[in-house]
Structure 1
């Protein structure tokens, strides 16, 4: 499903929105308890804003699908 309004957030914006340090974000990604980043360019990655919002609703019960 494509959502034309979907925005991608870079790491700085993810840190600001979640309040989590960079190291914690990458640790949680490895554990599967935080949304994975997606490649958005040759040398850049980003996180879908909708997935970050879903994580923020229930961070302790989030599981990457």
Structure 2
């Protein structure tokens, strides 16, 4: 399988390391459709790395 076809997933800790948001804001924005939706992978809650990267790219520069 080509590397670009393999999706990576991030746990909450790694999402928090990448985005300038708190846990509460991430979950609130998910409910409001402003942040990518989490998925269940077994017992874990995860986000697609590509969706988090796309979200970060769309943020305005500070």
Do both proteins adopt the same fold according to a TM-score greater than 0.5, normalized to the shorter chain? Answer: yes
What is the distance in 1 between the residues matched to 2:48 and 2:10?
6
Deviant stretches of 4+, over 2 Å = none
**Aligned match of 1:63:** none
Deviation at 1:12, TM superposition (A): 0.6
- Alpha-carbon distance in 2 for matches of 1:46, 1:13: 10
1:54 pairs with 2:45: no
Root-mean-square deviation (CA, aligned residues, Å) is 1.6
Number of residues of Structure 1 aligned to a counterpart in Structure 2: 57
1:2-13 paired onto structure 2 within 5 Å = 3-4=5-6, 6-13=7-14
Alignment of 1:1-65 (within 5 A): 3-4=5-6, 6-41=7-42, 43-59=43-59
Q: Distance in 1 between matches of 2:20 and 2:33?
A: 18
In our comparison, the structure showing a higher alpha carbon Rg is: 2
Structure 2: stretches of 5+ with no match in the other structure: none
